[in-house]
Amino acid sequence: MAEYSAYTDQELVALLKQGNTVAFAEIFERYYPLLYSHAYNKLRSREDAMDIVQDVFVKLWNRHQRLEEMPNFTGYLYTMLRNTVLSFIYRQKTVSDYASQFEKFQEEGEASTDHRIRESQLRLIIETEIAALPPRMREVFELRRNEYLSNKEIAEKLGISEQTVEVQMKKAKKQLREKLGLLFFFMYFL
């Protein structure tokens, strides 16, 4: 990869557009520290900053065939980062708003129509994310959540190993935490 380090951004983008993974790796090595630093300064969370920068590079790879020649590739990456950070902040605010409303509802003990609607919306969002899980992962998750089966019972029912059940549950919880936010997840499942 040492030879790629001498390439300009434009040369790397041209190679990336052709699906060159070494060019992508060079772009990653070149820009990850800068993008991470910028994201961390905005979010003040190492984990969130790492996730955001990873999302930027995933988006870049997913768009690599549609990339056009651009004189300011750095600006393009920073724009992607800014938009991803803003989207993340908006999602966090939305989750926080829902969590606040749900807490208030529990404290008041009154089930007003507005609160019921919000609770219903919250449940719908959660169910939508569960439905978006890969089929086997969703099946394992729902057997645990809805039928309260143990890993052993799920393994027997599906004809898979207990370890596979455990791995699928961990992956499902991780995906849901990433999509819904940690607070959101604990509110609903604990």
pLDDT means over runs of 10, the chain (190 residues):
84 94 96 96 93 95 89 92 90 75 64 66 78 89 85 92 92 81 52
Q: How far apart are CA 187 and CA 52, in angstroms?
A: 24
Encoded tokens for 137 = 């992962």
Query: What pLDDT was estimated at residue 31?
Result: 96
Query: Which structural domains are found in the chain, ordered by start?
Result: 2-90 (1.10.1740.10), 115-189 (1.10.10.10)
pTM above 0.75, yes or no: no
The per-residue DSSP string of 17-47 comes to: HTT-HHHHHHHHHHHHHHHHHHHHHHH--HH
Pairwise CA distance, residues 128 & 105, whole Å = 23
